[in-house]
Amino acid sequence: MIDFKKSIVQPIQSASLDARGIELFVKRDDLLHPDISGNKWRKLRFNVIQCFKNHNAGILTFGGAYSNHLLATAAACAEVGLKSIGIVRGDELTSESNAILKRCTSYGMELQFVSRELYQLRNDRYYQENLLIQNSNYYVVPEGGANYLGMIGCQELVSQIEQPFDVIVSAQGTSTTSCGLALGLDDSQRLMVVPVLKGYDSIGEMQSLMSRSAMAEDAIDFALSSVLVSDEYHFGGYWKYTWELLEFIRSFHNRYRIKLDPIYTGKAMYALQKEIDSGAMDGKRIVFLHTGGVQGAQSIIEKSGFDLFGG
Ligand SMILES: *Cc1c(COP(=O)(O)O)cnc(C)c1O
């Protein structure tokens, strides 16, 4: 259904990169699908396959009001003929509350709105079992697609990059994508992660997801030894941004015609730019993973009143 060949590896050229001997490429997972945003399909793919193997009716998953993951799940399930249920944080919301929730509904996703307190229990086994009693024969995917199969789907991405590279760069939310990437690297390659949440323990979170996936401790340590954390570019935290970040996204788009979003990819590219400016990347071949997300960020972009992609 989704052709991975659509995700091209696009070279980025500039005199300042040349001067530093840097080769930069953008892996365009944002081109995979308009609603099944970039890495969200990577994380869902093997879960969808598992769902068919189990003969489940559909996928039940969790997300906030503007969740790229909910939208991706709704769209992916619609395309393959599975049902979908989204447990949404916030019982004041309705399926009309915003464009993302409307779009989920139009894909046939059944939205169930729960209080913030109840939503806290989303990873609790007893809570999930209760949900499955009420919604029988559904397959549960955690918030953000953060499970073993999600991770493995992102590992696959690395094998699809034909260009040789030294460093791959990714924004980090649940760290499912970064875990998969780390597992796909060879010994000499490095992963630079840019957490978009304030105070996020990148290595700890990656360790925890890998342990939950029953990986051996020394294999985890080995995978994590290739990770570089660039944790000063969250711009105040999740869904927070500054005018400087918006200005950066606008000028990047003006120059390269690639849209970044102010929640994930804009922060990651900004961080990479700073690392490049510091000299830390001199002589490196770098792949920046464009994880998509411009769709989900539409409301924040509109609210800012900033003409991001007009010029
Ligand atoms: C969800 C998302 C991420 C974060 O991926 P994780 O696997 O949760 O770390 C990064 N970029 C975009 C655009 C996303 O939508």
Model confidence pLDDT, tens digit, residues 243-297: 999 999 999 999 999 999 999 999 999 999 999 999 999 999 999 999 999 888 8
Q: Among 31, 39, 194, 213, which is best to mutate for testing ligand 1, by the most ligand atoms less than 8 A from CB?
A: 39
For 267, the 3-state DSSP assignment is: helix
Tell which of 145, 168, 201 closes a domain: 145
Distance 145 CA to ligand 1 centre (A): 10
- Sign, Cα dihedral of 208, 211, 217, 221: negative
Rounded distance between C-alpha atoms, residue 96 and residue 124, angstroms: 28
- Sign, Cα dihedral of 149, 150, 155, 157: positive
- pLDDT exceeds 70 at position 73: yes
**Residue 295, pLDDT score:** 80
Over residues 56-84, mean pLDDT: 97
Asked if 72 and 200 sit in the same domain, the reply is no
Asked if 151 and 126 sit in the same domain, the reply is no
Assess whether the C-beta atom of 177 lies below 6 angstroms from ligand 1.
Answer: yes
Q: In sequence order, what E strands does 185-298 have?
A: 190-195, 227-229, 285-290
State the chain's mean pLDDT as an integer: 96
Tell which of 85, 119, 145 closes a domain: 145
Rounded distance between C-alpha atoms, residue 40 and residue 150, angstroms: 9
**Residue 232, pLDDT score:** 97
Assess whether the C-beta atom of 68 lies below 6 angstroms from ligand 1.
Answer: yes
pLDDT tens by residue, 25-60: 999 999 999 899 889 999 999 999 999 999 999 999
Rounded distance between C-alpha atoms, residue 168 and residue 177, angstroms: 12
Tell the residue number behind the tokens 């979908």, with chain if given: 84
| Ligand 1 atom closest to 144 (CA) | 8
Residue 73: how many other CB atoms lie within 10 Å:
33
Rounded distance between C-alpha atoms, residue 259 and residue 252, angstroms: 8
Do 195 and 172 form a contact (C-beta atoms < 8 A)?
yes
Distance 38 CA to ligand 1 centre (A): 8
Assess whether the C-beta atom of 295 lies below 6 angstroms from ligand 1.
Answer: no
- Choice among 152-156, 288-292, 298-302 with the minimum mean pLDDT: 298-302
- pLDDT exceeds 70 at position 217: yes
- pLDDT exceeds 80 at position 311: no
CATH number of the domain at 185, please.
3.40.50.1100
| Ligand 1 atom closest to 43 (CA) | 7
Structural domain total, the chain: 2
Q: What is the CA radius of gyration of the chain?
A: 19
Of residues 236, 251, 262, the one with CA closest to residue 171: 262
Name the strand (E) or helix (H) holding 52: helix 39-53
Asked if 167 and 135 sit in the same domain, the reply is no
For residue 155, tell me if it sits in a domain: yes
Domain that holds residue 276: 4-37+147-304
**Residue 37, pLDDT score:** 82
**Residue 231, pLDDT score:** 96
Alpha carbons within 13 angstroms on the beta-carbon side of residue 75 total: 21
- pLDDT exceeds 80 at position 177: yes
Over residues 78-107, mean pLDDT: 97
Assess whether the C-beta atom of 174 lies below 6 angstroms from ligand 1.
Answer: yes
Q: Among 36, 41, 68, which is best to mutate for testing ligand 1, by the most ligand atoms less than 8 A from CB?
A: 68
Tell which of 122, 145, 168 closes a domain: 145
pTM for the full model? 0.96
% of the chain with per-residue pLDDT over 90: 93
Rounded distance between C-alpha atoms, residue 3 and residue 93, angstroms: 34
**Residue 27, pLDDT score:** 98
Assess whether the C-beta atom of 173 lies below 6 angstroms from ligand 1.
Answer: yes
Over residues 227-232, mean pLDDT: 98
- pLDDT exceeds 90 at position 183: yes
Asked if 177 and 89 sit in the same domain, the reply is no
Asked if 299 and 169 sit in the same domain, the reply is yes
Asked if 217 and 86 sit in the same domain, the reply is no
Protein residue with least CA distance to atom 3, ligand 1: 173
Assess whether the C-beta atom of 73 lies below 6 angstroms from ligand 1.
Answer: no
Asked if 161 and 250 sit in the same domain, the reply is yes
Asked if 299 and 185 sit in the same domain, the reply is yes
Rounded distance between C-alpha atoms, residue 108 and residue 262, angstroms: 28
Asked if 269 and 173 sit in the same domain, the reply is yes
Over residues 171-183, mean pLDDT: 98
For residue 114, how far is the Cα from the chain centroid?
Answer: 24
**Residue 1, pLDDT score:** 78
